[in-house]
Amino acid sequence: MTRRLILMLLLLAPAPALASDLCALALDMEARIAERLGYMPGATCPEIAFALPVAGAAQRSQAGAYDPMTGRIDLAPDLDLSTAYGQSFLLHELVHAAQYRAGRDRAVPCPAALEAEAYREQADFLVEAGLSREAVLTRALGAQLGSCQAPEY
Q: Comparing 7 with 145, which gets the higher pLDDT?
A: 145
Domain that holds residue 71: 2-145
Cβ proximity of 66 and 93 under 8 Å: yes
Range 68-91 burial, b when 16+ CB lie within 10 A, else e: eeeebbbbbbebebeeebbbbbbb
List the one residue out of 59, 48, 147, 130 whose CA is nearest residue 92. Answer: 48
Strands 48-50 and 64-67 turn out to be: unpaired
- What is the tally of structural domains in the chain? 1
pTM of the complete model: 0.82
Average pLDDT over residues 127-142: 96
Three-state secondary structure call for residue 83? coil
- Give the pLDDT band (50/70/90) at residue 20: confident
Mean pLDDT over the full length of the chain: 85
- At 144-153, the pLDDT tens digits run 988 888 655 5
Asked whether residue 50 is assigned to any structural domain, the reply reads yes
Is 91 contained in some domain?
yes
Is 122 part of any domain?
yes
Per-residue pLDDT tens over the stretch 46-59 = 999 998 766 554 44
Radius of gyration over every alpha carbon of the chain, rounded to an integer in angstroms: 16
Q: Is residue 151 part of a domain?
A: no
